[in-house]
């Protein structure tokens, strides 16, 4: 359960930072090995505390994706749009991009990948985390829910996070299927910064980012954006005890 309260963070995230087009709100956390990452300072410090506790419990937590700028999200999106990376259905089955018309392709990609300019990873508050201790040599990481389900390679870490993540200020925004983005049990969000960041988002700022950026499927995205915004961007879980931001809150 979330026990914190929303207070002003050390620095307000600007519209350019919200959409991944500026990075003044994040910094590098240098850690021995391959675990160095870039994150919002408050979120990064909280994540290090969570990792220390997880290690004491016998896990070896590894952040596999943290801050991602607009260009980085574009690379993921564009590769899926062109069929260079697979698309997935709601159950994780592999799909081919060419099997979908452009409008449907946008919605299919959004099941598992965020729109450039609207990814929560732009904020430096989101951490995709796995347990390196349970990885066997040659294991191909997929980041799919079955890896955290009972019997899955990261099931024990998932159970530990169920109990302890909120103690460090984290929650899972993609906890269940709400008809938009699919559940991501590996995805942790630092509430103190991410909840205000989500409240600051509006469809106009996302539209401007897509219009000025080089994004595959730009025309089809913009034509559907009014419907995509509430379904795939705002339609997420919240820390227990905090109200979800509404479209009215942001003057849409």
- Convert the pLDDT of each residue in 219-245 to its tens digit: 999 999 999 999 999 999 999 854 444
All residues at 6 or more sequence positions from 194 whose CB lies less than 8 Å from its CB, including other chains: 43, 120, 123, 125, 126, 173
Give the pTM.
0.91
Per-residue confidence band for 31, with pLDDT thresholds at 50, 70 and 90: confident
pLDDT of residue 33: 73
Q: What is the mean pLDDT of residues 5-28?
A: 80
All residues at 6 or more sequence positions from 25 whose CB lies less than 8 Å from its CB, including other chains: 11, 13, 14, 17, 40, 123, 124
Alpha-carbon gap, residue 146 to 5, rounded angstroms: 33
Give the residue among 7, 3, 120 at the shortest CA–CA distance from 69. Answer: 120
Range with the poorest average pLDDT among 7-21, 72-86, 157-171, 204-218: 7-21
Per-residue confidence band for 11, with pLDDT thresholds at 50, 70 and 90: low
252 pLDDT higher than 60? no
Alpha-carbon gap, residue 163 to 59, rounded angstroms: 14
Contact 132, 62 (CB under 8 A): yes
Alpha-carbon gap, residue 243 to 88, rounded angstroms: 31
pLDDT of residue 88: 97
pLDDT digits (tens, 9 = 90+) for 118-161: 999 999 999 999 999 999 999 999 999 999 999 999 999 999 99
Q: Which residues of 140-161 are buried (b: 16+ CB within 10 A; e: fewer)?
A: eeebbbebbeeebbbbbbbebb
Tokens 């160095």 belong to 36
pLDDT digits (tens, 9 = 90+) for 108-130: 999 999 999 999 999 999 999 99
């Amino acid at each position: 359960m979330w026990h914190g309260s929303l207070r002003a963070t050390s620095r307000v995230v600007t519209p350019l930072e919200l959409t991944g087009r500026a990075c003044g709100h994040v910094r590098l956390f240098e850690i021995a090995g391959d675990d160095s990452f870039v994150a919002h300072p408050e979120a990064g410090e909280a994540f290090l505390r969570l990792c220390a506790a997880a290690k004491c419990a016998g896990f070896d937590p590894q952040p596999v994706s943290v801050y991602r700028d607009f260009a980085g999200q574009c690379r993921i999106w564009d590769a899926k749009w062109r069929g260079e990376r697979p698309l997935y259905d709601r159950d994780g089955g592999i799909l081919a991009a060419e099997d979908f018309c452009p409008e449907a392709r946008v919605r299919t990609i959004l099941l598992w990948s965020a729109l450039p300019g609207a990814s929560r990873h732009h904020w430096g508050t989101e951490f995709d985390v796995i347990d390196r201790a349970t990885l066997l040599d040659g294991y191909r990481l997929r980041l799919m829910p079955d890896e955290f389900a009972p019997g899955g390679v990261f099931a024990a870490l998932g159970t530990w996070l169920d109990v302890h993540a909120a103690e460090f200020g984290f929650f899972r925004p993609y906890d269940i299927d709400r008809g938009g983005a699919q559940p991501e049990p590996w995805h942790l969000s630092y509430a103190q910064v991410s909840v205000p960041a989500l409240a600051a988002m509006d469809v106009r700022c996302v539209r401007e980012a897509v219009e000025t950026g080089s994004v595959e499927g730009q025309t089809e995205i913009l034509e559907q954006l009014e419907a995509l915004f509430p379904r795939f961007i705002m339609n997420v879980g919240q820390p227990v005890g905090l109200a979800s931001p509404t479209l009215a809150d942001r003057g849409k």
